[in-house]
Amino acid sequence: MKASPADQRRLLEVAELDTRIRQADAARRNPPQAARVQALLAQRQTFAQELATRLGARDDLRAEMARIESDVAMVDARRARDAERLNSTSNMKEAQGLESELASLARRKSDLEDAELEVMERLEQADAAVAEQESVMGQTNAEGAALSAEAKRVVAEASAAFEAATRDRAAVAETVAGDLLAFYDRVSARSSGAALLRRGTCEGCRMVLAGTDLQAARLAAEDEVITCPECGCILVRTEESGL
């Protein structure tokens, strides 16, 4: 294939713009924050389940505390009633019965108070566990929100870069001969499309050309379109090619 050296050089601009288009498209489709955001969402679900478990345990302790407090109130009411009856009775047998019941109620209240202290201690631990998990959830949510905002910014910038590079690519492509551009499009499906031959090295695949390939490039006419024997991209020759 024949093409003017100027057209061949413009392919380098097309190739650079194609690279920018691919990079911008990849960034807008999958911003670098996306993987971490997905990981945080999975963590958040696990953390939420743990928080629900801890809240349930705390609620159970609160219910147990309420029951104990209710039992203490009932014992206190019963003791007050028995003490009033004891003060007003003159029946020795009834008085002995009331004294025995008061002693039993005192032991019952002591047991309830011991249980109350134990539950209070466990409830403090449960409150601390809930607060700890809520803090973890808060940190996760804050990081997720920050990363999501950053991802939106990246996507917006990448979308703008994609649109700008696509416009620029169309403008440059219009200045390239149609048959050369069609050939470039075919080879770009499996390579960088076009690359500079610099000091005997293809900048598309970074491979140094063999002596025979360099000799062939050296002997080729300026308007001859040559390709890299390694990656197949169009090799653009300039004064930097080392031929």
pLDDT digit string (tens) for 179-209?
Answer: 999 999 999 999 999 999 999 999 999 999 9
The backbone torsions φ and ψ at residue 227, rounded to the nearest 5 degrees and listed phi first, read -125, 160
pLDDT at 243 over 90: no
Q: Which fold, 30-155?
A: Helix Hairpins (1.10.287)
Q: Residue 73: which residues within 8 A CB-CB, separation 6 or more?
A: none
Whether 38 contacts 153, CB under 8 Å: no
- Of the listed ranges 59-63, 93-97, 105-109, 173-177, the one predicted with least confidence: 93-97
Q: Does the pTM of the predicted model rise above 0.85?
A: no
Listed ranges 12-21, 77-86, 95-104; the one with the highest mean pLDDT: 12-21
Mean pLDDT of the chain: 94
Mean pLDDT on 214-230: 92
Contact indicator for 85, 98 with CB cutoff of 8 Å = yes
- Mean pLDDT value of segment 155-174: 96
Tell me the H-state helices in 174-238.
178-187, 211-219
CA dist 197 and 190 (Å) reads: 18
Instruction: Tell which phi-psi region holds residue 88, choosing left (phi > 0), alpha (psi between -120 and 50) or beta.
Output: alpha
